[in-house]
A and B are shown apart, each in its own frame.
Chain A
């Protein structure tokens, strides 16, 4: 088991082939997840975040195809593996956690069958040892009386418990990388925090986590880095705290000012006008320009590549760090991050004006 490899995705391009046209759903997406690090993929529905992950896992529907790029896990390009080889990677080297455990777990099998399946299928250990590990993992994820609960079916558990069971299933093989697709969207806030703390333990043991989310609070709490996706492309790539303190791309700041936050009643709610584009009619140039209040003619004409962004540390955006009264020491932390962490943004205006 390679339990300390990083996942490097480079120029990933995924297309869906429809009857009369080809849609590019993921366009030149690159990122790296180091062991023990967590990357947030932030974006709204239809931005391509789930498809990008399914491309890496090679779980695209029949109409989808990877049209270019690489996804290397510890030196192996996953996109070049045969289906047979890929099956050895899924579940063992890369685990997955989904939003809805009721749909992701098999309703006709007990937890024991589902939790030991990976271990047995990959030939990691024998049945007795598999059961021992499964019980242990169930206990680790905070399910009371794991010896007893392992004999139950998913429908006999509450929503929070089912989500824990699914995380246990992904954890049992101690994968190098865990892909979590909105793992806490369907659960209550108190459970959400418990689940994230649970995933943090996995991270501490060296697993790299990719978390797909549209909740910036979750991203801030759990992740180290983030990429922001819009219409299939990465529009911003940054360590998470500087990203939230000074969003560089207009879409990122739009997401930020659309997000309601407890204890910030005074902050004006400024929704982004319009709705995300239909990929069949992707606006030319920067796909966000029709909704962007800073757009100029050039934005609709030129594609915007991701370029390094250094920003301006003293130029605090209203309503972010300065006004939220975060302790000064922490603010310095963010600044430090900002100096060391690489930031990239796909907006010429942001690059020019900082």
Chain B
């Protein structure tokens, strides 16, 4: 296990958990490990990750495929149990929650996925899709649920005239709006967005981001925004955590991370971006090689944590 930065308030420990008082965090991840055992051997998908998501903030999670971003999402949503460490939601340790209570807790955390068509029920109309969480959580009766679904569809910019159409009759951008409406049906505190705009065309991606931006401000949502698109995360997140091979290598307020990245991996990632209106940064002469072992995460400036590296 990595070294432990004792928090000034003494309330807990762990690199990256920052100085936020415990009741300011909606999600707390403390020294979490996740190992998948396969026939070919163990895969260490997440290693000793500690971070917190504050109420009302948007935390961006970036990293390449296989870096453990989606596993982190599933751990934070309580969809899988960590091999080691604890995940808390709203102060509750998810590993102690019983099955029935977990369902109640899930109403407060909802998810938007990359592929909207794959995540909607194809044989339900879009209004029934949006009403489905309400039905599962026994909210209201059939008529009021439909009414609520129509309100939600209107809120996300889907014409309620099409409420009885099926998902396949909509474009990808409209499908994603429906998926967002469904995620908001239970008035969650947390919206977990796993690559919500990656499968959409550029002009539609911008529309969906503008919608999410409006909703999070209007509804006071806390967002975890997972993406491999650094430009989207820069625009959208308040703080960003960079993951590489299951570890968080750097975590900082967005502006600081993009303006003065400290970890070589973050620098390498930013250098690989191909800008539209200027020339790209020069690629590093020697790419950073991920290092084995558990090097500690240190606070280099207030709220800016960087994992040690030997190179």
The interface of chain A, by Cβ under 8 A from chain B, is 44-45, 159, 188-193, 196, 214-218, 220-221, 244-245, 254-256, 258-265, 269-273, 275-276, 319-321, 324-326, 330
Of the candidates B172, B202, B206, B283, the one having the most CB atoms from chain A within 10 angstroms of its own CB is B202
**B64 close to A269 (CB less than 8 A):** no
**A256 close to B258 (CB less than 8 A):** no
Question: Please, which residues of chain B bring their CB within 8 A of the CB of A320?
Answer: 277
Nearest CB of chain B from residue A181's CB, rounded to whole Å = 15
**A189 close to B277 (CB less than 8 A):** no
Question: Please, which residues of chain A bring their CB within 8 A of the CB of B283?
Answer: 193
Query: Who on chain B is nearest to A245 by CB?
Result: B277
Query: Who on chain B is nearest to A47 by CB?
Result: B201
Question: Please, which residues of chain B bring their CB within 8 A of the CB of A325?
Answer: 278
Question: Please, which residues of chain A bring their CB within 8 A of the CB of B122?
Answer: none
Residue B280 at the A interface, CB < 8 A? yes
User: Of A189, A196, A255, which contacts B273 at CB under 8 A?
Assistant: A189
Question: Could you tell me the distance between the alpha carbons of A188 and B206 in the complex, rounded to whole angstroms?
Answer: 21
User: Of A188, A324, A326, which contacts B65 at CB under 8 A?
Assistant: A188
**B276 close to A275 (CB less than 8 A):** no
Query: Who on chain B is nearest to A220 by CB?
Result: B276
Question: Please, which residues of chain A bring their CB within 8 A of the CB of B274?
Answer: 189, 192-193, 196, 215, 217-218, 220-221
Question: Please, which residues of chain B bring their CB within 8 A of the CB of A319?
Answer: 277
Residue B269 at the A interface, CB < 8 A? yes
Question: Could you tell me the distance between the alpha carbons of A188 and B202 in the complex, rounded to whole angstroms?
Answer: 17
Q: A191-B64, A193-B280, A271-B207 known; 9 other A-B pairs, CB under 8 Å?
A: A44-B202, A193-B272, A255-B202, A262-B270, A262-B273, A269-B235, A272-B207, A275-B173, A326-B278
Nearest CB of chain A from residue B227's CB, rounded to whole Å = 10
**A190 close to B276 (CB less than 8 A):** no
Residue B204 at the A interface, CB < 8 A? yes
* For the complex of A and B, 10 pairs with smallest distance between CB atoms: A271-B206, A217-B274, A260-B231, A258-B206, A188-B64, A44-B201, A189-B272, A272-B203, A271-B207, A324-B277
With A189-B269, A193-B283, A275-B173 already in contact, the answer to whether A216 and B206 are too (CB < 8 A) is: no
